[in-house]
Chain A
Amino acid sequence: MPQTITDIYLPRQAKVVQIEIENSQISTFVLAFSAPLFNENFRYQPGQFMLVSMPHCGEAPISISSTPTRPGTIHLSVRRAGKLTNAMHGLRVGDTLGLRGPYGRPFPMKELQGRDLLFVAGGIGLAPLRAVINACLDQERFGALTVLYGSRTPSDIAFQDDLALWQQQGVDCRLTVDAAEAGWAGAVGLVTCLMDGLTPDLSRSTALVCGPPLMFKAVLGKLAAMGFSDEQVLTTMERHMKCGVGICRHCHMDGKLACVDGPVFSLAELRRLKIMELAEAPASAARTSTTDHLR
């Protein structure tokens, strides 16, 4: 009767093969599992994430920023935020960390085939979309690709090597910054300002959006104004996570769990939920005071 059940919580060891410093806050870690056979057979899809362990730091969810069309390593692009991510920034090539995954509902790559894709990202938000962009370029089954990318300042622009490569391969990349620096000749302003000049073919376009909450809201508004339906907008949600497998519920979103029902969602799905990212009015600061209601 007793059977061995896989220990789904046990991380595997992975080694740092290479580190790309994207900017002062973000680095991309190129990793390979220490066990060669496992590494060879490891599969994932764009939009999925890994739970990363660092010594004494617990675990944190990090989106996979590489494409499965280039197996052998996986990329995790990490921004300094808390204890674990800061510890990661102390890693050197050859160091090890713990990984388990892949988890989450990926981007619907099959449904996106043949479509024009508009990627809108801010800061670290470009990381999960990078996986999709590179997958599209490798598979050559997609329509026109456009990348709109916003950063704080020109020095903060991450993934510059990728952006240059994509530009060479025919991706329409447009950049903007919140604040210019000397020598910057490009756009200044929120990433929505880059959307003004676009004329997407709405019959075959999908927008993929990822970035901080304020940017997200502004971009949604602009996309709606441009004629994108909620079904044509995809995003990936960020939530505190622990188990990654839909049991512990730290990532709850009005009945959904970001780790298994997401993190990729369409805007149409999100509109059916009461979540902070889509809240209309700010939550009231003061509570009501009378207890008469409690009778």
Chain B
Amino acid sequence: MPPAATTDSHLLKKDHLKGFLRKLSKEYRLVAPVRNRHSDVLFTVIDDLDGMEIELTEPPQNSLKQFFLPQQEQLSTYSVTPEGYEFHPTQAIIPPTVYFGVHPCDLSSVLYMDVVFSRRQRDPFYLRRRQGSVLIGINCNFPSPNCFCNATGSGPFIEMGSDLQLTDLGDRFLVETGRAPGHALIKRWQGFFSPAEAKDRAARYQAFLEARGRFSRQVHVEQAIRRLEAGTVPEQVWEDLSLRCQDCGGCAYVCPTCTCFTISDQQRDAVSGQRLRNWDACTFAGFTAMAGGHNPVVAKTAAIRQRFEHKLRDDVRLTGRPSCVGCGRCVGICFGGTDIIRFVERACQGSL
């Protein structure tokens, strides 16, 4: 459905993008997808705007997860002194950051993480990083071969969630303002922006339609969601997936919405140490192992089952949408052949 006419859409000429980013980089830490000399595209902190190649079409191999939930983070330090055993909080200083060139899948994942880290309790480590962040997204005109964000409702274009949302219209970007920080940016740098016209918004709609037609895969996520909710996915599916899953945890590490972590103490000397938080994966057998050796999750069938039930059933119950954002990163990394697309295909096979 074409976006309603709004006073809040502007144009930014492509030629002027770097100039705008340069201004931003003076007031914010700037993170954007960068193609390095090995041809890999990765979200990177921009410290040399002229020497780095910003890539806006090919999806980055990493997601924004590590910037909001680092792979390893110190939660506190502790010491044992004559006064006793005490913990000292860690206050990381996070500079205000603009995350530029974020595709709808990765934007959706940040919105999901917002729910996870503030729903029941407010996680101060996540929120400290999130509060100073500005999200400038870009819609995807050219989905990649493993992408299926259309099936998860998280792309290829996104209507809200970012502070500014760009659409590539060839020689210019359509820039739509979302939240207040976006409005503020436009106002501050209004010299870069001109008002968009009806024909620009029509071009955006055209780009959206064309993007939707460019997916190589058809993944029936919705059908899988229904079968999971109804409990009609055959037991054999779980057994086969468990057979092939090699417990490497790779999927959880690359997935933008896998936020499970573990907490452990790392001793420094006899009387001090640090408490760390590290990414973890529910597919590891040790994820649920209890002291004394008992493990309530039968690794053979139940670990990988939990993974897909969480993403495609539990999170649907929680937020109304799956937490899988259709980015396809797990497809690239899984060496056993048990990525989420394979699961959906298996779950949807056959009639009930």
Q: How far is the CB of B286 from chain A (nearest CB, A)?
A: 9
Check B239 against A287 for contact (C-beta < 8 Å): yes
User: In the bound complex, how far is the Cα of B341 from the Cα of A132, in angstroms?
Assistant: 48
Contacting B263 at CB < 8 Å: which of A5, A242, A276? A242
Flag if A288 contacts B292 (CB, 8 Å). no
Set of chain B residues within 8 Å of A238, measured between Cβ atoms: 290
Given contacts A58-B264, A242-B262, A255-B314, contact A34 B84 (CB under 8 A): yes
Q: Which residues of B contact A13 (CB under 8 A)?
A: 84-87
B121 within 8 A of A: yes
In the complex, A9→B117 CA distance in Å?
13
Interface residues of A in 64-96 (CB under 8 A from B): 81-85, 95-96
Please state if B84 and A96 are interface contacts (CB–CB under 8 Å): yes
Residues of chain B contacted by A32 (CB below 8 angstroms): none
Say yes or no for B78: interface residue by CB 8 A criterion.
Answer: yes
State whether A243 touches B131 (Cβ < 8 A). Answer: no
**Size bracket of the A interface:** 35 or more
A5 to B302: give the CA distance in the assembly, Å: 36
Interchain CB contact under 8 A, B76 and A9: yes
A10 touches B76 (CB 8 A): yes
Q: How far is the CA of A243 from the CA of B259 in the complex (A)?
A: 12
Q: A5-B124, A294-B244, A294-B337 are in contact. Are A248 and B260 (CB under 8 A)?
A: yes
A26 CA / B334 CA spacing, docked (Å): 45
Q: Is A108 engaged at the interface, CB distance under 8 Å to the other chain?
A: no
Which A residues between 205 and 226 are near B, CB-CB below 8 angstroms?
none
Task: Known A13-B86, A255-B314; judge A250-B262 contact (CB<8 A).
Answer: yes
Interface of chain B residues 136 through 156 with chain A (CB within 8 A): none
User: Taking A248-B280, A252-B306 as contacts, is the C-beta distance between A60 and B291 under 8 angstroms?
Assistant: yes
- Are B243 and A2 in contact, with the CB atoms below 8 A? no
Known contacts A248-B260, A287-B239: does B291 contact A8 (CB below 8 Å)?
no
Residue of B nearest to A246 (CB): B120
- A98 contacts B by Cβ under 8 Å: yes
Closest approach, in angstroms, between the C-beta of B177 and any C-beta of chain A? 18
Chain B 46-84 near chain A by CB (<8 Å), digits 1 or 0: 000000000000000000000000000001101010001
Asked if B123 lies at the interface with its beta carbon under 8 angstroms from chain A, I say yes
* Beta-carbon contact of B289 and A240 below 8 Å: yes
Residues of chain B contacted by A239 (CB below 8 angstroms): 288, 290, 296
**B226 at the A/B interface (Cβ < 8 Å)?**
no
A28 within 8 A of B: no
Cα A31 to Cα B244 in complex, Å, equals 49
Q: How far is the CB of B288 from chain A (nearest CB, A)?
A: 5
Q: Pick the interface stretch among A49-57, A155-163, A189-197.
A: A49-57
B114 within 8 Å of A by Cβ? no
Q: Which of B75, B121, B292, B310 contacts A252 (CB 8 A)?
A: B310
Inter-subunit contact A288/B282 (CB<8 Å)? no
Task: Tell me if B193 is interfacial: C-beta within 8 Å of chain A.
Answer: no
The answer to whether B132 touches A2 (Cβ under 8 A) is yes
Q: Distance in Å from the Cβ of A5 to the closest Cβ of chain B?
A: 4
Closest to A256 in B: B314
Determine which residue in A274, A288, A293 has the highest number of CB atoms from chain B within 10 A of its CB, and name it. Answer: A293
A247 contacts partner chain B, Cβ-Cβ < 8 Å: yes
For B80, list chain A residues within 8 Å (CB).
Answer: 55
B301 touches A276 (CB 8 A): no
Query: A283, B262: Cβ atoms under 8 Å?
Result: no
Is residue A277 within 8 Å, beta carbon to beta carbon, of the partner chain? yes
Interface size class on chain B is 35 or more
Is residue B6 within 8 Å, beta carbon to beta carbon, of the partner chain? no
Contact, CB under 8 Å: B265 / A288: no
Q: Does A185 contact B (CB under 8 A)?
A: no
Give chain B nearest CB distance to A248 CB in angstroms.
Answer: 5
Within 8 Å CB of A85, what residues of B? 291
Nearest-neighbour CB distance to chain B for A54, whole angstroms, equals: 8
Q: Does A202 contact B (CB under 8 A)?
A: no
Contact A260 B120 (CB under 8 A): yes
Contact A98 B89 (CB under 8 A): no
Chain A, Cβ-Cβ closest to B309: A255
Q: Which residues of A contact B116 (CB under 8 A)?
A: 247
Chain B, 260-278, CB within 8 A of any chain A CB: 260-265, 267, 271, 273, 275, 277
Q: Tell me, rounded to whole Å, the shortest Cβ–Cβ distance linking B308 to chain A.
A: 12
Given contacts A13-B85, A248-B263, contact A7 B288 (CB under 8 A): no
Q: How far is the CB of B34 from chain A (nearest CB, A)?
A: 28
A288-B240 contact, Cβ under 8 Å, with A9-B76, A252-B288, A255-B317 = yes
Inter-chain contacts of A82 with B (CB < 8 A) = 291-292
Within 8 A of B (CB), among A22-64: 34, 53-60
Q: How far is the CB of A244 from chain B (nearest CB, A)?
A: 9
Shortest C-beta distance, B112 to chain A (Å), equals 13
User: In the complex, which residues 207-266 of chain B have their Cβ closer than 8 Å to any Cβ of chain A?
Assistant: 236, 239-240, 242-244, 259-265
The answer for the CA separation of A238 and B292 in the assembled complex, in Å, is 12
- In the bound complex, what is the Cα–Cα distance between A156 and B115 (angstroms)? 47
A-B contact pairs, 23 of them (CB 8 A): A3-B131, A6-B122, A6-B124, A7-B89, A8-B124, A11-B87, A13-B84, A53-B87, A55-B273, A58-B263, A59-B263, A96-B86, A239-B290, A240-B290, A242-B263, A243-B263, A248-B263, A248-B280, A252-B288, A252-B306, A276-B298, A283-B301, A293-B240
